[in-house]
Amino acid sequence: MKSASILLCTFIGIAAAGCGSNPAGNQAGATANAAGPAAQPAQAGGPSALSNLTVDHQALENACLSPADARRPLTDFSAEEKRTIVACANREMVRQMEGQMPIRIDQVTSLVALTSAGATLTYNYRVEVDGATVTDQGRRQLEQSTRATVCGRPDMQQTMSLGGAYAYVWADRAGRPIHAILIDSC
């Protein structure tokens, strides 16, 4: 059975870079591929631009799991305990990443803030367009492509199965809302 510490990096929606793929283990400053699909109003981009964000996975684990809990199989945790760990990991990840933003995702999109509320991690994007020009069809495409990206990521699916959720908020260059969605299942 997998222990909670092994799964901690993946179930909060951080790709396993710096966790299982780092030969040195969960090292401080390991690069994480933060799981927030970047998108412009009519098209989603990939999360590759977010791969420059860093998360200290050991600090995250230390903040959210006792040494005994780190060795427990994930199946031994109650649903509430899992949500509590996800919420803790979200808070710690936000704390670590806040000084790394804004980060340019593509020619028109920047991730300006990452926030958490309980087990929900929210990605706040600024898109260099006039929000009034974004059509309903553009919003639907944005939502569909973001959902497809989230649901195509095993780490994000695992987070949702443990009670986590992802929210996405897009604002235009003047800060006016373009669209917002919550994804808590696929």
Q: What is the pTM of this model?
A: 0.77
CA 29 to chain centre: 17
Domain that holds residue 107: 4-183
- According to the model, what pLDDT value does residue 4 have? 58
> What CATH number is given to the structural domain containing 140?
3.30.300.250
pLDDT block averages, 10 residues each, the chain of length 186: 51 36 30 38 43 80 91 91 94 91 91 95 95 94 94 92 95 96 96
Strands 39-40 and 43-44: antiparallel
Comparing C-alpha atoms, which of 85, 151, 73 is closest to residue 118?
Answer: 85
- According to the model, what pLDDT value does residue 49 have? 60
Residues contacting 167, CB < 8 A, separation 6+ = 120, 121, 122, 123, 180, 181, 182, 183
- According to the model, what pLDDT value does residue 85 have? 93
- According to the model, what pLDDT value does residue 24 have? 29
How many domains, in total, are found in the chain? 1
